[in-house]
Amino acid sequence: MDRSAVFVDAGYLLAEGGRLTCGTTSRPAVRCDYRTLHRELTDWVAEHSGVPSLRTYWYDGAARGVPSADHEQIGGFPYVKVRLGRVIQGEQKGVDALIYRDLMTLARERAIAVAYLLSGDEDLREGVVAAQDMGVQVVLLGVPTRQRTNQSAALVREADEHVVLPKDFWAPHFTSRESEAKTPGTQAGAAEAQTAGRSFALKWLGEAQPDGRSELLGDFPRIPRELDLALLLDAEETLGSLRERQDLKREVRGAFWSAIKDAES
């Protein structure tokens, strides 16, 4: 049976989707309704391909490889696999290699006939060519841009088809966090911030290796940059934007350290 699969580079999606709909490429400044986006994208692919879907693969970077709240949510959707690279100095690493591996495996095993790739990175060009050599059609999906392009020209040339889905497709799924800012009477407080920080710490402890815990404690009171970013992004899922809330950031970080130390005592 012929089937399709979707390969989503979350870094490209969130940066370009945020730029298009909210005027920013900053991930903390944008909220994405992943559930409705996944459903709409799956429906569009099914109609375009005319064949059943195998699954969607979602690729993103994660601080020290620890899934964020977003990753946990997305991974819970039916027929979705989350693959995580690393975030190092604010940049995701290893994501292209994960996409290449899955694309090659599915092509080699003849598990799919059509691959839908949502990305813009030229490093994926060789993977596209190799999959085509094994009989897989590759459709490159894109997000519109006011700039000349947000996808590699070489990647576009290699794809069997290039489809830039219109703004109307993406806009319902993206919201500016600034527009969701809570009114003074309903702003998140210290208790909620402490809960968020502690919750992230417990999740991190469940994933971390013993040497990773020791390394983190050795950095006290500094939280490594990529881990701090993941902590604050996770907290913003419940607290809203923390951009102007240094007080709540301190509460989140303090609760994080408290939970880490409690676990080690």
Q: What length does the chain have?
A: 265
Whether 241 contacts 181, CB under 8 Å: yes
* Mean pLDDT computed over every residue of the chain: 89
How far apart are the two ends of the chain, measured CA to CA in Å? 56
What's the CA gap between 242 and 260, in Å, rounded? 22
Encode pLDDT of 229-249 as tens digits: 889 888 887 787 787 788 889
CATH architecture designation of domain 4-176: 3-Layer(aba) Sandwich (3.40)
- Residue 36 tokens, joined: 């409705």
> Residue 124's Cα: distance from chain center in Å?
18
Average pLDDT over residues 81-89: 87
pLDDT in tens, 29-62: 888 999 999 999 999 999 999 999 999 999 999 8
pLDDT tens per residue, range 177-191? 776 554 444 456 788
Closest CA to 112 of 241, 251, 221, 5: 5
Q: Report the distance separating Cα 249 and Cα 77, nearest Å.
A: 30
Better pLDDT: 242 or 160: 160
- Please report, as a single letter, which amino acid is at residue 61: G
Nearest CA-CA partner of 63 in 230, 253, 256 = 230
Cα–Cα dist 200/182, whole Å: 22
Q: Distance between CA atoms of 26 and 84, rounded to whole angstroms? A: 19
Which of 210, 226, 190 is CA-nearest to residue 260?
A: 210
Report the candidate in 100, 103, 149 with the shortest Cα–Cα distance to residue 123. 100
- Extended strands (E) in the chain: 4-9, 30-32, 53-62, 80-88, 91-93, 114-118, 137-142, 161-164, 174-176
For the residues 77-97, what does the mean pLDDT come to? 88
- What's the CA gap between 25 and 81, in Å, rounded? 25
Tens of pLDDT, residue by residue over 132-145, are 999 999 999 999 99
What count of other Cβ atoms lies within 10 Å of the Cβ of residue 157?
11
> How far apart (Å, rounded) are the C-alpha atoms in residues 237 and 171?
20
Task: Quote the CA–CA distance of 216 and 137 in Å, as a whole number.
Answer: 45
Listed by start position, the domains of the chain span: 4-176, 182-264
The model scores a pTM over 0.95:
no
Distance separating alpha carbons of residues 260 and 265, to the nearest angstrom: 9
